[in-house]
Amino acid sequence: MNKKRYFLQLSYKGTNFFGWQIQPDHPTIQSELERVLTALHKNEKTEIVGCGRTDTGVHASKYYAHFDSHLVEDIEHWRYKMNTMLPQDISIHEIIPVSSEAHARFDADARTYHYFIHTEKDSFIHDISWYYKPDLDIEKMNNACLLLLDHEDFECFSKVKTEVNHFRCDIKQALWVRSDKGLIFSITANRFLRNMVRAIVGTMLEIGLNKMNEDEFKKVLMSGDRSQAGQSVPARGLFLADIAYPYISKTQG
């Protein structure tokens, strides 16, 4: 029987996981999903491909992955079964039939990340937002965001040891806004480097604290040197918030 391809649209709280990708002897999002899918396929090994890797402790409010199956008939029943078998930290929101050529990773047009900062201690959000009290100059931080839009090579914000062919990214949007809890940083690009968003946030905090000016930020961008940028902020405030595909409408998910 021919297999059909399906996209999963899911969310997860990454606090108790060692990121997306399967790792020996460590719980990951991918390993939990494959465990459940394999069980639903009567112990036939069923692999899943994600839209990208998230690091240890990073969350996702919208994430896509694909798998192939010849057993899915009642989609809603499958979604219900997966949710009952998965840990509370992982939720399946949709199972979407797609063409056999569709690819969760390679077909994504854009990815959006959010970073959350709360400025008053809150016991209920401490593992999904970073508690950071100092006053920040958001206007200067947003001026720095505009510089990101005109730049292309972001090696200065990438982990030193990473397997990529180039460090070019097309940042389409970057913005800081105030929320009722504190601050939210939003950034959209066609691709991201490892640790890139957390390094950008850490560097912009130096701008907001008046420890780095705009010209110095430009020099960091041009340097291609990770040691010139600011420290990475903690993973717990970072969310993969959206993935855009040409064949999945904004109304879905």
Residues classed as catalytic? 55
239 torsion bin: left (phi>0), alpha (psi -120 to 50), beta (else): beta
13 neighbors 29 (Cβ within 8 angstroms): no
Q: Which of 136, 232, 243 is nearest to 252 (CA)?
A: 243
Give residue 55's Cα distance to chain centre: 9
150 neighbors 221 (Cβ within 8 angstroms): no
Q: How far is CA 239 from CA 58, 60, 198, in A?
A: 6, 5, 11
Q: Which segments of 22-162 are extended strands (E)?
A: 49-50, 59-69, 90-98, 110-118, 130-131
Q: Which of 171, 127, 175 is nearest to 150 (CA)?
A: 171
Tokens describing residue 169: 């990214």
What is the Cα Rg of the chain in Å?
A: 19
Task: Match 């105030």 to its residue by tokens.
Answer: 178
DSSP state of 248: B
Longest dimension (CA), the chain: 63
